[in-house]
Amino acid sequence: MNIANLEGVPKIAWEYRLGNRCALEWILDQYKEKRSKDHTIAKKFNTYRFADYKE
- pLDDT tens per residue, range 8-41: 888 898 899 988 989 888 888 888 877 777 777 7
3-state secondary structure of 46: coil
Burial class (CB in 10 A: 0-12, 13-18, 19+), 5: exposed
The residue among 45 and 16 whose pLDDT is bigger is 16
- pLDDT for the residue numbered 17: 92
Q: Give me the number of domains the chain comprises.
A: 1
- Residue 10 CA, chain-centre distance (Å), reads 20
Q: What range defines the domain where residue 14 resides?
A: 4-53
Say if residue 50's pLDDT is above 60. Answer: yes
User: Which residues fall within 8 angstroms of residue 28, CB to CB, at 6 or more apart?
Assistant: 1, 3
The residue among 46 and 11 whose pLDDT is bigger is 11
Say if residues 31 and 23 touch (Cβ distance below 8 Å). Answer: no
Say if residue 4's pLDDT is above 80. Answer: no
